Amino acid sequence: MSDHTTTDCLLFPDIFAKPVVLKFDQRQSSSDGGAILLKAADRRYGLTERLAACRQDDRHPGKVDHRVEELLAQRVFGIACGHPDANDAARLASDPIHKMLIGRDPIHGTDLASQPTLSRFENAAGPKELYRMAEALAEAVLARHARRLRGRAQRITIDLDPTDDPTHGAQQLALFNGHYDTWCYLPVVGFLTFNDEAEHSLFAAVWRPGNAPAALGAVGILRRILGMIRRHFRKARIRVRLDGGFAHPALLNFLDAQPDLT
């Protein structure tokens, strides 16, 4: 008997005609079975493939055990399953479901990447690669809705909103924010809404230091997404919806200069 098995457990023998017997002898088990749906969605939209294509791999080919596509997919699926910390890779590397998500045999396939490998992968991305990945995400969202709506939409709404991401250590640029009363990062996220639909589609998430003003980076995000929207939906009216924190002269002047905003 190994550390991963226990004896049978007999429950309620005096209550039911047939006692409940529990067994804990399955070595290859996982609590993330629903992640198979994520794999199906990713195969349909090709999102991780698009993002991986934006990353350049400068590693020596003979020393590579985990391809860029595998590393990115492992990280994305792990976060989506509620495992945001790269340290979680220590116990998920041999998880059969997560190995299946990456395309490896759940039992005999090679284990997934370790925490140090994932951390090096994340930290290796430079500004140009991150910019290309942001473009790929927005393009994937717009292409999906363009197919769904056949390129026709009466109105498209852009929402930008800063959100606090509290930190609990000495992370670089984790600064105190008086409004949220915490040490944090302050990323800004962008969503698209088509016509009067209730669904909001995330198209951008830009990391910023904890003391960043609300409007920081907003002009760049809007300039990029407006160009993409105009290519996919030529006749749509575009509305930009922001809260009071974005009231900055540079941003307001940019919006005033756009002829098709409502």
Instruction: Annotate 67-112 with DSSP letters as a single string.
Output: -HHHHHHHHHHHHHTT--SGGGHHHHTT-HHHHHHTTS-TTTSPP-
d(CA 113, CA 86): 10
Residue 203 domain-assigned? Answer: yes
Three-state DSSP class for 24?
Answer: coil
Q: Are 207 and 178 in contact (CB under 8 A)?
A: no
In the chain, what's the furthest Cα-to-Cα distance? 78
d(CA 250, CA 215): 9
Q: End of a domain among 80, 105, 123?
A: 123
- Beta strands of the chain (E only): which ranges? 9-11, 20-22, 155-162, 165-166, 175-177, 182-185, 188-194, 201-206, 237-241
Same domain, 112 and 157: no
Count up the domains in the chain and report the number. 2
In degrees rounded to 5, what are phi and psi of residue 257? Answer: -85, -5
pLDDT for 51 equals 95
d(CA 132, CA 121): 16
Residue 11 domain-assigned? Answer: no
Same domain, 116 and 204: no
Same domain, 44 and 90: yes
Residue 96 domain-assigned? Answer: yes
Residue 132 domain-assigned? Answer: no
Residue 69 domain-assigned? Answer: yes
pLDDT for 3 equals 53
Q: In which domain, by residue range, is 98 found?
A: 25-123
d(CA 88, CA 217): 32
pLDDT for 17 equals 67
Q: Are 202 and 160 in contact (CB under 8 A)?
A: no
Same domain, 162 and 205: yes
Q: End of a domain among 73, 102, 123?
A: 123
Residue 156 domain-assigned? Answer: yes
Instruction: Annotate 208-221 with DSSP letters as a single string.
Output: --TT--TTTTHHHH
Same domain, 111 and 169: no
Same domain, 102 and 195: no
Same domain, 32 and 82: yes
Q: Which residues of 6-45 are buried (b: 16+ CB within 10 A; e: fewer)?
A: eeeeeeeeeeeeeeeeeeeeeeeebebeebeebbeebeee
Residue 67 domain-assigned? Answer: yes
pLDDT for 6 equals 54
Digitized pLDDT (tens) for each residue of the chain, 262 residues in all: 455 555 566 666 666 666 666 666 666 677 788 888 899 999 999 999 999 999 988 888 888 889 999 999 999 999 999 998 889 998 889 998 899 899 898 888 899 999 999 999 998 999 999 999 999 999 999 999 999 999 999 999 999 999 999 998 888 999 999 999 999 999 999 999 999 999 999 999 999 999 999 899 999 999 999 999 999 999 999 999 999 899 999 999 999 999 878 7
Q: End of a domain among 103, 123, 143?
A: 123
pLDDT for 14 equals 66
pLDDT for 15 equals 66
Q: Are 158 and 238 in contact (CB under 8 A)?
A: yes
Q: Which position has the token pair 């302050």?
A: 186
Collect all residues with Cβ–Cβ distance below 8 Å to 211 and sequence separation of at least 6: 175, 176, 177, 186
Same domain, 200 and 250: yes
Same domain, 177 and 214: yes
Same domain, 245 and 157: yes
Residue 20 domain-assigned? Answer: no
Same domain, 76 and 156: no
d(CA 168, CA 164): 13
Same domain, 42 and 119: yes
